[in-house]
Amino acid sequence: MFKQMRRQERKIEIGEAEEILKNGEYGVLSTNGENGYSYGTPVSYVYFNNSVYFHCALEGQKLENINFNNKVSFCVVGKTCVVPEKFSTKYESTIVFGEAIEVFEEEKNEALLEILKKYSPNFIDKGKLYIKNAGDKTKVIKISIDKISGKSIR
């Protein structure tokens, strides 16, 4: 189903790929729409319970695309370093493939709390109140991972 990475010498272990995913600041979600075009959009996210979670508005292009075809990819780029004299860039990245579904109730609240812990760890109490007041205006999408791979040029 998934092709093997072409440059095997750049492949990293799953554990390293998960660390990049866990520590990334944002990722790019790629979806496909009814119009035949792919759509990539940056999102804040959290990786926990072997899944990727992100929140979004109640409507929009990415949700329309997920409703059309819930198979997605999600890419996170970790550390980078341009090496001008070699006409190259050192980098690390992780790509996951999976199915995106909306989650509800306890799982939704747990994901929002994990996002809060990742991005606003010094504002947990205030964030919990925000989640309580804005939760019905927010969707949470879970990517159940079918494949994860990572690569690094060091």
At position 83, the amino acid (one-letter code) is V
Check residue 153 and give its pLDDT.
83
3-state helix, strand, coil in the chain (%, to 5): 35, 45, 20
In angstroms, the CA 55 to CA 38 distance is 20
Spatial distance between the Cα atoms of 122 and 145, rounded to a whole number of angstroms: 30
Mean confidence (pLDDT) of the chain: 93
Query: What's the pLDDT score for residue 36?
Result: 95
**Low-confidence winner among 4-13, 133-142, 144-153 (lowest mean pLDDT):** 4-13
Mean per-residue pLDDT for 2-17? 78
pLDDT(101) > 90 = yes
Q: How confident is the model at residue 106 (pLDDT cuts 50, 70, 90)?
A: very high
pTM passes above 0.95: no
Q: Which domains does the chain have, with CATH numbers?
A: 8-153 (2.30.110.10)
DSSP assignment, residue 87?
A: T
